[in-house]
């Protein structure tokens, strides 16, 4: 970052007082209502809701689970490919974990299937979420998010001047009053609409998880959709000042004006009383653990103010920007009992 530009941003952060930040002395319910209204506005103009026109492309027996590949329409000219994995547990209905990758080559990482150079390294970083969820007895839904994998930027290479998955789309959507985070959240919500009609899914027990950019969408989706009963974002939750506003991040992370109203942890008021599991790496270079701890302190105070102390968990593991399944899934299993 240019030194002069960085100095200016740090000055703004130092003197910024979000108008809807958490106030332990305030009226919690009224504050939460105000936060919901403002966040809904800031996430941008919603797409026009169309029929999902769900198309099942194949269904295959994978031994321990059935895999169903389907595509649905989230809005005009925006199809969402998905893979649903249903474990062979003998249950009629299964709790579901929605699995969201961050900046990667696509949802096949969640399925543990390397396709491109570097994929094996990503998978080794604990990112084969769908396979993990199925091994725990949950159904898993891998969603191809906007700008990743099959929904990537396929323009002619001569038109791509930025080395970013999301730069063109994220900034172009702003011209129409839409944010990429808001659109990714929309796709998650529409996916829940679709899978709730599948006989094998328990629509009352839906969770969402993701790493990095997938963790970001997990967090905002849980804020906006109460049908998500458990949220487990990893390497994505910190104060804005410690990460998004201080370290170079993809344009898809930015929501215009958001710091005028609240910091990232303040939004946890929209998730409580539902369990929130924040997973972090103590050596994560882009979500520094100091900013994670500061954010989680606010989250904990928010949950306590709402009368739900203990329902927010922090899992901080030695390591970098990745997921930590060995530490996270036992905590997920414990909090999921609260939802039964």
The average pLDDT across 325-330 equals 98
Query: What's the pLDDT tens digit per position in 204-252?
Result: 999 999 999 999 999 999 999 999 999 999 999 999 999 999 998 999 9
The average pLDDT across 64-93 equals 96
What percentage of the chain exceeds 70 in pLDDT?
A: 95
Question: Where do we find the tokens 């321990």?
Answer: 64
- pLDDT-based confidence at 315, cuts 50/70/90? very high
> Based on C-alpha coordinates, what's the Rg of the chain?
19
Residues 6+ apart with CB under 8 A from 184: 145, 146, 217, 220, 221, 252
Q: Is the pLDDT of residue 325 over 50?
A: yes
What percentage of the chain exceeds 90 in pLDDT?
A: 88
* Token pair for 295: 């954010």
The average pLDDT across 165-181 equals 95
pLDDT at 159: 66
* pTM summary value: 0.95
Q: Of 321, 237, 316, 233, nearest to 277 (Cα)? A: 233
The runs of H, that is alpha helices, within the chain are 3-15, 28-42, 119-122, 129-135, 167-174, 180-195, 213-224, 258-261, 289-305, 325-336
- pLDDT-based confidence at 155, cuts 50/70/90? confident
- pLDDT-based confidence at 48, cuts 50/70/90? very high
Q: Of 78, 85, 83, nearest to 51 (Cα)? A: 78
The strand pair at 55-61 and 65-75 is best described as antiparallel
Q: Is the pLDDT of residue 158 over 80?
A: no
The Cα-based distances of 145 to 78, 111, 140, 242, 316 in angstroms read 11, 14, 15, 26, 26
- pLDDT-based confidence at 9, cuts 50/70/90? confident
* Token pair for 320: 């970098």
- pLDDT-based confidence at 3, cuts 50/70/90? low
Q: Which domains does the chain have, with CATH numbers?
A: 3-339 (3.40.50.1820)
108 C-beta neighbours (distance < 10 Å), count: 22
Q: Is 166 left (phi over 0), alpha (psi -120 to 50) or beta?
A: alpha
Query: What's the pLDDT tens digit per position in 111-133?
Result: 999 999 999 999 999 999 999 99
The mean of the pLDDT values for the chain is 94
Instruction: Identify the weakest region by mean pLDDT among 146-155, 161-170, 183-192, 260-269.
Output: 161-170
Q: Is the pLDDT of residue 339 over 90?
A: no
CA angle, corner 98, sides to 247 and 272, nearest 5? 70
The distance between the two most distant Cα atoms of the chain, rounded to a whole number of Å, is 62
Q: Is the pLDDT of residue 163 over 70?
A: no
Determine the length of the chain: 340
pLDDT at 1: 46
Distance of CA 143 to the CA centre of its chain: 11
The average pLDDT across 252-274 equals 97
3-class secondary-structure state, position 118:
coil
* Token pair for 174: 């702003």
pLDDT at 10: 84
């Amino acid at each position: 970052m240019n030194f002069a530009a960085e100095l200016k941003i740090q000055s703004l952060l130092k003197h910024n007082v979000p108008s809807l930040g958490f106030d332990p002395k305030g009226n919690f319910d009224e504050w939460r209502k105000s936060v919901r209204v403002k966040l809904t506005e800031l996430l941008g103009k919603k797409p026009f809701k169309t029929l999902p026109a769900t198309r099942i492309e194949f269904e295959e027996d994978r031994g321990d689970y059935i895999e169903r590949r389907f595509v649905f329409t989230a809005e005009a000219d925006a199809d969402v490919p998905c893979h649903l994995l249903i474990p062979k547990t003998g249950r009629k209905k299964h709790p579901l974990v929605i699995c969201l990758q961050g900046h990667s080559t696509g949802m096949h990482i969640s399925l543990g299937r390397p396709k491109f150079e570097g994929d094996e390294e990503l998978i080794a970083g604990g990112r084969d979420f769908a396979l993990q969820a199925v091994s725990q007895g949950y159904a898993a839904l891998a969603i191809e998010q906007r700008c990743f994998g099959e929904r990537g930027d396929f323009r002619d290479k001569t038109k791509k001047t930025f080395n970013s998955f999301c730069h063109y789309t994220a900034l172009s959507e702003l011209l129409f009053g839409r944010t990429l985070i808001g659109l990714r959240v929309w796709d998650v919500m529409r996916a829940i609409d679709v899978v709730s009609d599948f006989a094998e899914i328990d629509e009352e027990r839906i969770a969402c998880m993701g790493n990095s950019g997938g963790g970001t969408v997990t967090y905002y989706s849980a804020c906006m959709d109460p049908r998500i009963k458990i949220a487990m974002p990893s390497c994505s939750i910190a104060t804005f000042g410690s990460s998004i506003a201080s370290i170079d991040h993809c344009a898809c992370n930015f929501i215009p004006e958001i710091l005028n109203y609240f910091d990232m942890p303040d939004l946890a008021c929209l998730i409580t009383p539902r369990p929130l599991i924040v997973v972090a790496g103590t050596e994560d270079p882009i979500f520094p653990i100091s900013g994670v701890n500061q954010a989680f302190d606010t989250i904990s105070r928010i949950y306590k103010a709402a009368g739900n102390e203990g329902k927010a968990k922090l899992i901080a593991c030695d390591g970098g920007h990745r997921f930590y399944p060995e530490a996270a899934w036992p905590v997920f299993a414990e909090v999921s009992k609260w939802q039964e």
